[in-house]
Amino acid sequence: MRRAARVVLFAGVVIAALVAATGPVIAKPTAVPRLAHVVVVVFENKERGDVLGTGRAPTFDRLAGDYAQATDYRAVAHPSLPNYLALISGSTHGVTNDCTNCPQSGPTIGTELTRAGKTWAAYAEGYPSSPRFAKRHEPFLYFPGGASHVQGLDALRPSALPAFAFVTPDLCHDAHDCSLATADSWLKQFVPPLLRVPRTAVFIFFDEGTSDVGGGGVVPMIVAGTSVKPHSRYTQTTNHYGLLRTIEDALGVPPLGAAARARPFTGIWR
């Protein structure tokens, strides 16, 4: 056997021995990076299997394929409002219906961002007077001081995003009262400018599904934007609290409520 071949063989034996002793070397998932902007876009009442891969929502499919998705993302309750409360505060606050006169107390991610000196806003299509606007889909209106940060969707400027933007389409464009195809067309027009903003992640998902898995169903969750690794997946079971934890880590604020016990999304970042 030639000397070079003996060296290669020896190296292979050493590597095999190390793997046997310590186990295979597994790349550590990339932690959540600090982001300049996070955008949340919430749609309504669809299971993951009723949206992705059906051919009825090509924009959702394209974004899920080109960017990242959480493949086992679960809502935490039925109906809508407790999910929205959980998304911004880490708790459903014991709410079990879509009440409109049920003010809440305690901090939200907006409270945290204000304390940290970071900008934030909630953008609701049709707010405040359109019959297609639903208060239950704008959770900041339930907390003290939240209303001062809520604006109509036409106030959103991709070139001047706050650190955190919470976006709620109206009752037609969010697929609540209109078809999934209508929601898909709205997303196709709305999202492209956001995908060009540096150091940004755009979370696109549904508030709840039609099953009771996890408390509120398994729903689509897409993560797009310039900070997202193309064609990536987060495969761990997660929910609205995992999303809140991910956003809090990305913006450098402490986790709230159940988010403190949740794992952030990893392995999908550039």
- Ordered by start, the domain boundaries in the chain are 33-261
- pLDDT tens track for 144-183: 999 999 999 999 999 999 999 999 999 999 999 999 999 9
In terms of Cβ atoms closer than 10 Å to its own Cβ (0-12, 13-18, 19+), residue 34 is: exposed
C-alpha span between 11 and 5 (Å, rounded): 10
Query: What confidence score (pLDDT) does residue 26 get?
Result: 36
pLDDT digits (tens, 9 = 90+) for 101-137: 999 999 999 999 999 999 999 999 999 999 999 999 9
Q: State phi, psi for 121 to the nearest 5 degrees.
A: -160, 155
Q: Report the percent of the chain where pLDDT is more than 90.
A: 89
User: What pLDDT score does 233 carry?
Assistant: 98
Q: Which residues contact 190 (CB under 8 A, 6 or more apart)?
A: 41, 169
What are the DSSP E strand ranges found in the chain?
37-43, 68-70, 73-74, 120-124, 150-152, 164-168, 200-206, 221-224, 232-234, 238-239
pLDDT band at 64 (very low <50, low <70, confident <90, very high): very high
Mean pLDDT value across the chain:
92
Query: Global pTM?
Result: 0.90
DSSP 8-state assignment for residue 45: S
User: pLDDT at position 30, please?
Assistant: 60
Band of residue 198 on the pLDDT scale cut at 50, 70, 90: very high
Tell whether the model's pLDDT for residue 204 goes beyond 50.
yes
The b-or-e profile of 116-155 (16+ CB within 10 A means b, else e) is eeeebbbbbbbbeeeeebbbbbbbbbbbeebeebbeebee
Per-residue model confidence (pLDDT) at position 16: 43
Residue 76 to residues 23, 52, 71, 187, 206, Cα–Cα distance (Å): 37, 20, 16, 24, 12
**Quick one: CATH architecture of 33-261?**
3-Layer(aba) Sandwich (3.40)
